[in-house]
Amino acid sequence: MNNFPWENRPDNCRDVMWRSSRNPIIGRYDTAISNSIFNSAVVPFGNGYAGVFRCDDKAVRMNIFVGFSSDGVNWKTSDTPIRFEPGNTQMIDSDYKYDPRVTWIEDRYWITWCNGYNGPTIGIGYTFDFKTFYQCENAFLPFNRNGVLFPEKFNGRYAMLSRPSDNGHTPFGDIFISFSPDMKYWGEHRCVMKVAPFEESAWQCLKIGAGSVPFLTEAGWLMFYHGVIRTCNGYRYSMGAAILDEKNPSKVLWRTRDYLLGPAAPYELVGDVPNVVFPCAALTDSNRVAVYYGAADTTVCMAFGYVDEIIQFIKTHSL
Ligand code: BMA
């Protein structure tokens, strides 16, 4: 792919992943109405890329917006939120929408997001063309966040990671998996990953949540996730990665003890919510991976790495 968004590792970089020199690739005021654009998801589409973006407007109302790009770096994002038609239900109530993920499964792009329905829960929708969007039943009862679909079915069933939560700034949280035969009814909920002990891996000791859509590697499903520690200045969000079993994705094979990316760049340290690195998407092109993450709840940024090096890092710096 010659329009894969990519930058080589800088000469002075000793880390397994590195930031884009063009960060933030999307600024807070890049649409006409936005206060902030962050925690957003992109996928290959046509000859380029499409994405679903979280924009909070200047009334600080949370909603999701479609965007397009030929190179994955320069984005044109709509000034009006996505309007959904009824999909597998007439009940498409939504007080707000945020933190979208996009997953290609079989014949369409599925979108999951945190949907306001008497509190946060997981909303589901789909599109074939990023023009017409259909909304389905919410996956779960409130309260839940960080719903991430696998790109493949397991024994004919869709699989989704999620993070049961509370109605506020949840001071706890583990990652669960649920299955559905039809994208409407979800069950067989299993715990996948819990927070880490403070003494072993403090950056992920308060709560964790699925980040990017998992992609298959020779070691298993590779997924970037966020981990949170509570400091005397509030929550601090970093990015780690886990490898889940190819056939049984509720089984964690390895997960990082050391974070892959912690808030350190100025745009991650300063913003509407300081100290947040929040991955929501990853593009791959053979051994290259480009991660999209929200920085400080304000902008969209990118980081890069090589899949084989990341797998090696996860195995050798594992919890
Ligand atoms: C979470 C969500 C995310 C946000 C994070 C840090 O609860 O609201 O959208 O990035 O908090 O503020």
**pLDDT tens, residue by residue, 144-174:** 999 999 999 999 999 999 999 999 999 999 9
The conformational region for residue 193 under phi > 0 = left, psi -120 to 50 = alpha, else beta, is beta
Pocket test for ligand 1, best of 278, 292, 293 (most atoms within 8 A of CB): 278
Nearest atom in ligand 1 to 276's CA: 6
CA of 1 to the centre of ligand 1 (A): 33
Burial class (CB in 10 A: 0-12, 13-18, 19+), 44: middle
CB burial of 220-259 (b: ≥16 within 10 Å; e: otherwise) equals bbbbbbbbbbeeeeebbbbbbbbbbebeebbebbbbbbbb
CA angle 207, 212, 218 (to 5 degrees): 110
- Ligand 1 neighbourhood includes 298 CB (under 6 angstroms): no
Backbone angles phi, psi at 169, to 5 degrees: -90, 65
CA angle 263, 269, 274 (to 5 degrees): 105
Amino acid letter, residue 256: T
Q: Output the residue whose Cα is nearest ligand 1's atom 7.
A: 169
Cβ partners under 8 Å of residue 227, min gap 6: 195, 196, 201, 203, 204, 205, 207, 208, 237, 238, 239, 240, 259
CA of 39 to the centre of ligand 1 (A): 8
Compute how many other C-beta atoms are within 10 angstroms of the C-beta atom of residue 286. Answer: 9
Q: Output the residue whose Cα is nearest ligand 1's atom 11.
A: 169
Whole-number Å distance between alpha carbons of 92 and 69 = 29
Q: Output the residue whose Cα is nearest ligand 1's atom 10.
A: 297
Per-residue model confidence (pLDDT) at position 148: 98
Could you report the per-residue pLDDT of 242-271, keeping only the tens digit for each? 999 999 999 999 999 999 999 999 999 999
Could you report the per-residue pLDDT of 99-125, keeping only the tens digit for each? 999 999 999 999 999 999 999 999 999
What is the β-pairing status of strands 215-217 and 220-231? antiparallel
CB burial of 80-91 (b: ≥16 within 10 Å; e: otherwise) equals ebbebeebeeee
Whole-number Å distance between alpha carbons of 31 and 112 = 22
pTM to 2 decimals? 0.98
Res. 225 pLDDT band, cuts 50 70 90: very high
Whole-number Å distance between alpha carbons of 189 and 179 = 7
- Ligand 1 neighbourhood includes 297 CB (under 6 angstroms): yes
> What kind and span of H or E run contains 192?
strand 187-193
- Contact in structure between 144 and 165 (CB atoms under 8 Å): yes
Per-residue model confidence (pLDDT) at position 249: 98
Could you report the per-residue pLDDT of 267-318, keeping only the tens digit for each? 999 999 999 999 999 999 999 999 999 999 999 999 999 999 999 999 999 9
- Ligand 1 neighbourhood includes 273 CB (under 6 angstroms): yes
Pocket test for ligand 1, best of 143, 148, 235, 237 (most atoms within 8 A of CB): 237
Burial class (CB in 10 A: 0-12, 13-18, 19+), 94: middle
What is the β-pairing status of strands 207-210 and 220-231? antiparallel
